[in-house]
Amino acid sequence: QKEVEQNSGPLSVPEGAIASLNCTYSDRGSQSFFWYRQYSGKSPELIMSIYSNGDKEDGRFTAQLNKASQYVSLLIRDSQPSDSATYLCAVILGGTSYGKLTFGQGTILTVHP
């Protein structure tokens, strides 16, 4: 089992729809969770972080964390073509220190007009 696993893509949604991206992780002791966006040929950029169970909203983005199910998700409301990118789930696994991120394989999102 991979330490951090994302739902296989690519994911295609129409403009204005809700895009749902999912991620599971293997280590129950993990405490810190992040979503990065990576445009083609560019470096990853942080869009959301979440540390507690529940929802965290930032503009059109909502991160959801369920530690009991070892599951974290990202919802993008009112999706725009500019949201088309690869979304990377990253976790600081339990027992690691100094902010070491373990990434999932990424989900490619395409928002079509």
Please state the closest distance from residue 5 (CB atom) to other proteins, in A: 10
Q: By the criterion CB under 8 A, which residues form the site for other proteins?
A: 4, 31-32, 34, 42-46, 49, 51, 88, 90, 92, 96-106
What whole-number distance in Å separates Cα of residue 75 and Cα of residue 64? 8
Q: Which residues pair with 34 in a beta bridge?
A: 49, 90
Residue 16 CB, nearest distance to other proteins (Å)?
Answer: 28
List the beta bridge partners of residue 64: 55, 73
Instruction: Give me the least distance between CB of 94 and other proteins, in Å please.
Output: 11
Which of residues 12 and 51 has its CB atom nearest to other proteins in the complex?
51
Q: Which is nearer to other proteins, 43 or 69 (CB)?
A: 43
Q: Going along 1-113, which residue ranges are E strands? A: 4-6, 11-14, 19-25, 32-38, 45-50, 54-58, 61-66, 71-76, 85-92, 102-103, 107-112
Question: What's the DSSP call for residue 77?
Answer: S
- Of the pair 14, 51, the CB lying nearest other proteins is at 51
CB 101 to other proteins: min, Å: 6
Given the complex with other proteins, which of 77 and 100 has the nearer CB atom? Answer: 100
State how far the Cα of 42 lies from the Cα of 100, in Å rounded to an integer. Answer: 21
